Amino acid sequence: MQDLFVGLPMAVRRYAERGSFGAWLRTVTVRLALDRVRRRTRRHEVALDLAGEQTAVSETPEVRWDLEGAIAALPDDLRMVFVLKEVEGFSHAEIGRLLGIRTGTSEVRLHRAVRALRRALGGGA
């Protein structure tokens, strides 16, 4: 969020008032998030648990580390769809519009990402 608000004054200068401002702002936010995901794969980051945040009973730091590593190892196209759908909660139609792909392509990429994650985490195909 901080990156968004810091860069927003510069981005607003490029806003051409085509379409709704809300849709434009959402697109800027998603692109910023995708850039951050791409940077995370180049620069190894570890997410810290926030105080007071509950984790699942079966989730140990090792399991979380393995999952984050497996997500980071996904190809960019699969990782972007996975993060937008499963982490950010976007629909496949929204993901298609944001990434410039068809809805069906988003669905296929999510399926492939989940299959790759299962394989990487030892859960089979």
Domains of the chain by residue range:
2-47+59-120
pLDDT above 70 (res 107) = yes
Q: Which comes out higher in pLDDT, residue 91 or 21?
A: 91
2-47+59-120: CATH topology is Arc Repressor Mutant, subunit A (1.10.10)
Taking only the tens place, the pLDDT of each residue in 30-70 is 777 777 766 665 544 445 444 444 444 455 666 666 778 88
DSSP state of 50: P
71's tokens = 């997500």
- Residues 6 or more apart whose Cβ sits within 8 Å of residue 90: 30, 84, 98
pLDDT at site 8: 67
Which SS3 state, helix, strand or coil, does residue 49 take? coil
Q: How far is it, in rounded angstroms, from Cα 31 to Cα 38?
A: 10
Q: Which comes out higher in pLDDT, residue 22 or 104?
A: 104
